[in-house]
Amino acid sequence: MAGRCPLRYALILLAAIVPAGAAALPFDFVYLRDIDPTILQDIRYAGSNNFVGRPLPGYEAAECVVTRDVGRRLQAAQAELRPRGLSLKMLDCYRPVRAVAEMLAWSQDGVETTAGRRYTPRIAKQDLFRLGYIAVRSSHSTGAALDLTLVDLAADNSAVFDPAKDYADCTAPAALRAPEGSVDMGTGYDCSDLKAHTAAQNLTPQQRRWRNELVTVMARQGFVNYAREWWHFSLPGAGATTYVFPIRPRR
């Protein structure tokens, strides 16, 4: 049953298709850097700067992996932005099924953490799936969904995340929350809060303009925004099968 086979069966099937240690990506997937190296990347689940607070299984490299069609569409969006001094910045692309399973396990372990509260300041983590902030079956695992933001290339984007620092939660002013090296969208990435809904009203005019800019440039390439997350876009009809192959270093 496409996209809904048990994880163990999917892993066995994948092993039969993709030899261990194979350099090439399976199916029609590509590294985005091979299509457009000018698109910035900060793949958050490959490190500790995320709501789980650690790298997720399957993220063996901080690389954006997409289907070839999605990559070409992102390249076209980037070509529109670059002459204006802007760039796309990828935060998550293809997501292995095992990473989604880890998110589910984290949400149900009953332990609230400092990292988790930065991302869910007003929602208990066990409610994230019920409220639609995380999906049991993620469209990211089909290769048809993306998380991304915009970067002003003329701005100072040098600040980096310090895991030892006590940052404010994701709804706080940009100067107080964890740095993301991007324009101010009104909340941080992966913020599970009403303020992160794309059409939220409690934004400054500039924050609203940036969100509209991102939605517009992505819509021109056929991507549809998820209303509860200003950063999440998907390509309708691009695929229904979910995949389990890991994201390995690009060679």
Which residue spans within the chain are E strands per DSSP?
29-31, 40-41, 65-67, 86-92, 145-152, 224-226, 229-234
Q: Is 197 annotated as a binding residue?
A: no
Between CA 161 and CA 140 the distance in angstroms is 24
**How far, CA to CA in Å, does 84 sit from each of 7, 87, 123, 231?**
44, 9, 38, 20
Catalytic-labelled residue, pool 63, 102, 180, 229:
229
Q: What is the dihedral of CA 222, 188, 206, 172, to 10 degrees?
A: 160
The total of other beta-carbon atoms located within 10 Å of residue 219's CB is 13
Handedness of CA 124, 128, 129, 130 (dihedral sign): positive
Q: Could you tell me how many residues make up the chain?
A: 251
Any binding-site annotation on 147? yes
Q: Which 3 state secondary structure label does DSSP give 249? A: coil
Q: Does 140 show up as a binding residue in the annotation?
A: yes
Burial class (CB in 10 A: 0-12, 13-18, 19+), 69: middle
In sequence order, what are the beta bridge partners of 177? 168
Token pair 């994948």 is found at 14
Closest CA to 25 of 77, 73, 61: 61
Is 63 an active-site residue?
no
**Positions marked catalytic:** 229
Annotated binding site for Zn(2+): 140, 147, 232
Annotated binding site: 140, 147, 232
